[in-house]
Amino acid sequence: MKLLLFLLLTLCAVAADKPTEIKGGNGIVLPVPPPTEAKPVTETIHGVTLTDPYRWLEDGKSPETRAWIAEQTRYTDEYLSQVKIRPEIIDELSKLERVESYSIPEERGSMYFFKKRLADENQGSIYLRRSLTGQDERLIDATKLSADQNTSIQINDISKDGTLLVYGVRSGGADEESVHILEIDKTDAAKNRELPDSLPTARYSGIQLSPDEQGLYYARFDPTGTLVFYHKFRSPASADQLIFGKSINGETLGPMELIGSEITENERYLIISVIHGVPPKRVDIYVKDLRQPDSPIRPIIHGIDNRFTPVNYGDDLYVLTDYQAPNYKVVKVSLADPQPDHWTGIIPESTDVISGISIVGGKLFATGLHNVVSETRIFSLDGHQTGRIEYPTLGAATELYGREDSSEGFYSFESFIIPPTIYRYDVSTGKTEIFAKPTVPFDSDQYEVNQVNYKSKDGTYIPMFISSKKGLKRDGSTPTLMWAYGGFLVDMNPTWNPEFAWWMAHGGYYAQPNLRGGGEFGEKWHQAGMFEKKQNVFDDFFGAAQYLFDHKYTSPERLAIRGRSNGGLLMGAAMTQHPEMFGAIWCGYPLLDMIRFQNFLVGKWWTAEYGSSDDPTQFQYLFKYSPYHNVKPGMRFPAIMFNTGDSDTRVDPLHARKMTALVQADNASDRPILLHYQTISGHSSGVSITQAINDTADELSFLWNEVTGTK
């Protein structure tokens, strides 16, 4: 009887803790979230019994799930309709986003190909400039490809003489694309014509014209593994010839091996890279001599558990690698004699990471990071440094793109407070000039970027950028936005983002820590945040927040955080491990169920970073931090917006659906828990500018409203 009474009192106490209404920032009031039916599925994994109450939400196409999404969308719209600043955000974001923008040009046959989006357009189109100072001629008008203008295009390849353009068409934010070919008349644009050849919608890479321009080589990602094909023009895609895949050198290649193909600039070789895992723990390089049609595909680098990125010059490969060099080095490999003990050192490893190389105008350009700031050094092909490209300030630069026999190259430079500008670099003189610069209504001179260092939980020093208007007060009350990633060797550079610019323009701080798991300091930095060491990434993030509190930048209730994909997993860890540290969380396209992620879409790729619950040892640490499995009844969550969409063909939207239902059910605070779900949005870029502005405005409206207003 006493036990029964105790249980009844406990249940009443829990029920009393549940809010009866939801209170957002600045006076927003909502009913409690729409209830989600629990349909428990219980299973035992490696001796641990787990119950999943929302397994049914994994089926994104079922009528029940679609009805649930519709109800959640109505609930989120009810919140957003009450955010008074949202119209202002849309207006100001539109001014920052709706500017003329260019991609880095590619020179072919003394002509320049690039993407350009006019200020009033929703998509970038493909253009041709017949000389460096010539008029821009639109080749493919992306704005006419779909009624909702959520169809985008990209340049895949251009023939050496500039008469054939291979381009891809992508719907919304999906990874998949269809492939098309435009024949270009060198003197009369009216004579340009679409060729009948095309490739159906799929996940492709390395789409390139054959040297004789009679077909395409391409890699296609299939459920059983990546395959490399040759498509002969005027023949059906179903008849394409399989060039590479399935097995090589006695090894069976499956879904964990991603394969890329590339034809060298001199058109002598087809280079095939076999990437084992994402990120790769090993990269194998194979070569086929295209001058001899019947030549075999030969292994050049094989069976070494390191990463290799080749650039061809003549009959050699210049290879960027972390082989015996965690911060990367460059070696020269002879295709005639590729044995490792015959490799020639070109650029040795140093304390600074090399992230990319290119050969332009007979010189070797190595772009990397010095304390997370871009630097590009210039070398002769035998490895003597001859100079460097000078950048205007602390920021992020791309590699130099150009042709090995050309005297010009192009790169882009940007910073948190400087929009991307494309430069033309003269290899012979070292001079730079602006090729394209957007006119953005943002006065960079009013802002500043600082870099600080703080200690993580284990004593490791972590760098962090902090940007704001000059002279901004530090009294702990300033709304602050923090974004981070921490994984997959991804560098978090100081790059431009209109969302962050808006935040700073409205008097907030923007912070970006460089967590372990990224590639900012080489492979050792990456390894310190993967597999069983993933908790280091989360601790680095919590340390960044604590630094902001200790140094009076902001306070927990004023701190908004955001992350997407692997960064969405970081947000999941933040809300389940330290919900008290944050005022609002935007969790985009996230991985959250770390026990089942490998079973959906391309999740198996990421077992090379996280491990897999199929392994008993890896299950233990995954289960320990898996956000979906660490939501407990009675937790008091901050305001949270989960974001995903049907067109995410990379991270399955089931993660956001299930986590939304679970957090809503178990939340003991009265803060809003929302799901922002778009049927056309996905992991990749490609939605219209109108759609992108509206989606970003929804995110900013939520985050700003929740950390600036009284609750």
pLDDT tens-digit map of 397-421: 999 999 999 999 999 999 999 999 9
Give yes or no: residues 32 and 179 share one domain.
Answer: no
580-597: per-residue pLDDT in tens? 999 999 999 999 999 999
- For residue 257, what pLDDT is reported? 87
* pLDDT surpasses 60 at 38: yes
Domain ranges, residue 628: 19-93+476-487+495-507+547-708
421: Cα within 13 Å, side-chain hemisphere:
19
- Residue 16's pLDDT band (cuts 50, 70, 90): very low
Model pLDDT for residues 492-538, shown as the tens digit of each residue: 999 999 999 999 999 999 999 999 999 999 999 999 999 999 999 99
Give the model's pLDDT for residue 709.
78
Label residue 125 left, alpha or beta by phi (over 0 means left) and psi (-120 to 50 means alpha): beta
> Which of 186, 210, 229 is at the close of a domain?
186
Say how far apart CA 152 and CA 685 lie, in whole Å. Answer: 9
Listed residues 124, 153, 186: the one ending a domain: 186
With a cut of 90, say whether residue 686 has pLDDT above it.
Answer: no
Peptide bond into 279 cis (omega under 30): yes
What local confidence, expressed as pLDDT, does residue 224 receive?
85
Burial of 651 (0-12, 13-18, 19+ CB in 10 A): buried
Same domain for 501 and 645, yes or no, is yes
Active site residue 551: no
Q: Which pair of structure tokens corresponds to residue 341?
A: 């003990």
Catalytic residue (one of 276, 629, 676, 683): 683
Secondary structure (3-state) at 572: helix
Q: Which of 292, 338, 291 is nearest to 318 (CA)?
A: 338
Q: Which residue has the tokens 């490969």?
A: 317
Number of domains in the chain: 2
Q: Verify whether residue 613 is a known catalytic residue.
A: no
Residue type, 558: R
- Quick one: average pLDDT of 616-640? 97
Which helix (H) or strand (E) segment holds residue 360: the answer is: strand 353-360
At position 535, the amino acid (one-letter code) is: Q
Measure the CA–CA gap between 192 and 668, rounded to whole angstroms: 63
- Is the same domain home to 139 and 82? no
**Angstrom distances, CA of residue 246 to CA of 222, 301, 351, 610:** 11, 18, 39, 25
Q: How far is CA 36 from CA 13, 53, 57, 262, 657, in A?
A: 22, 10, 10, 49, 11
Distance CA 48, CA 39 (A): 19
Say if 299 falls within a structural domain.
no
Q: What is the mean pLDDT of residues 609-620?
A: 98
Residue 621 lies inside a defined structural domain of this protein? yes
Residue 610 has pLDDT above 50, yes or no: yes
Residue 629 has pLDDT above 80, yes or no: yes
Asked whether 582 and 596 are in contact (CB, 8 A), the reply is no
Mean pLDDT on 38-55: 97
Of 170, 186, 202, the domain-final residue: 186
- Is the confidence at residue 250, as pLDDT, over 80? no
| pLDDT (0 to 100) of residue 368 | 97
The dihedral through the CA atoms of 596, 70, 643, 154 has a sign that is positive
Q: Is 366 in contact with 348 (CB distance < 8 Å)? A: no
Is the residue at 628 inside a domain? Answer: yes
Q: What is the pLDDT at residue 681? A: 63
Range 616-638 average pLDDT: 97
Same domain for 158 and 86, yes or no, is no
On the question of pLDDT at 549 being above 90, the answer is yes
Residues 24 and 72 in one domain: yes
CA distances from 646 to 175, 236, 677 (A): 12, 30, 8
Q: In the beta sheet, which residues pair with residue 452?
A: 464
Q: Same domain, yes or no, for 597 and 701? A: yes
Query: Is pLDDT at 685 greater than 70 in this prediction?
Result: no
- Which tokens belong to 238? 């179903």
Q: Are residues 643 and 659 in the same domain?
A: yes
Q: What is the pLDDT of residues 298-345, one digit of tens each?
A: 999 999 999 999 999 999 999 999 999 999 999 999 999 999 999 999
Residue 146 DSSP symbol: -
Cα(409)–Cα(368) distance, integer angstroms: 17
Least confident of 348-362, 468-482, 582-596, 682-696: 682-696
pLDDT at 683: 58
Q: What is the per-residue pLDDT for 3?
A: 35
Nearest to 416 by CA among 478, 492, 356, 476: 492
Is residue 24 domain-shared with residue 157, that is, in the same domain? no
Question: Of 565, 626, 688, 701, which one is the catalytic site residue?
Answer: 565
Measured at the alpha carbon of residue 636, what is the angle toward residues 631 and 637, in degrees to the nearest 5? 75
200 belongs to a structural domain: no
Q: Identify the pLDDT of residue 8.
A: 35
Beta bridge partners of 453: 463
- Least confident window among 71-85, 458-472, 666-680: 666-680
What percent of the chain stands above pLDDT 70?
96
- Same domain, yes or no: 24 and 171: no
- The whole-number average pLDDT for the span 646-652 is 86
pLDDT of the residue at 1: 37
Scored b (16 or more CB within 10 A) or e, 604-628 reads bbbbbbbbbbeeeebbebbbebbbb
**Would you state the pLDDT for residue 351?**
95
Helix (H, G, I), strand (E, B) or coil at 348: coil
Q: Nearest-CA neighbor of 546 among 462, 667, 472, 630? A: 462
The pLDDT assigned to 223 comes to 82
CATH classification of the domain holding 502: 3.40.50.1820
Residue 9 has pLDDT above 50, yes or no: no
Q: Are residues 483 and 619 in the same domain?
A: yes
Helix (H) or strand (E) holding 480, with range, is strand 480-483
The answer to whether residue 242 sits within a structural domain is: no
Copy the structure tokens of residue 642: 């989960």
- Per the domain annotation, does 108 fall within a domain? yes
Inside any domain, residue 669: yes
Does residue 684 have a pLDDT over 80? no
Mean pLDDT of the chain: 93
Handedness of CA 43, 45, 48, 50 (dihedral sign): negative
pLDDT band at 254 (very low <50, low <70, confident <90, very high): confident
Pure H helices in 102-250 = none
In which band, very low, low, confident or very high, does the pLDDT at 4 lie, cut at 50, 70 and 90?
very low
CA 287 to chain centre: 29
Place of tokens 């957090």: 663
Distance of CA 121 to the CA centre of its chain: 24
d(C-alpha 275, C-alpha 228), whole Å: 13
Task: Clarify whether residues 612 and 700 are in a common domain.
Answer: yes
Show the CA angle centred on residue 465, arms to residues 424 and 526, nearest 5°.
85
CB neighbours of 211 closer than 8 A, spacing ≥ 6? 263, 267, 290
**pLDDT above 50: residue 5:** no
Map residue 395 onto helix, strand or coil. coil
Residue predicted with more confidence, 466 or 147: 466
**Token digits of residue 283:** 């990269």
What is d(CA 466, CA 684) in angstroms, rounded to the nearest whole number?
A: 27
Kindly state the average pLDDT of the residues 545-560.
98
**Strands, E, within 118-171: which ranges?**
125-129, 136-140, 151-158, 164-171
Query: Does residue 25 lie in a domain region?
Result: yes
Residues 112 and 85 in one domain: no
Residue 251, exposed/middle/buried by CB under 10 A (0-12, 13-18, 19+)?
middle
DSSP state at residue 82: T
Find all residues with CB under 8 Å of 342, minimum gap 6, and list them.
334
Q: 192 pLDDT band (50/70/90 cuts)?
A: very high
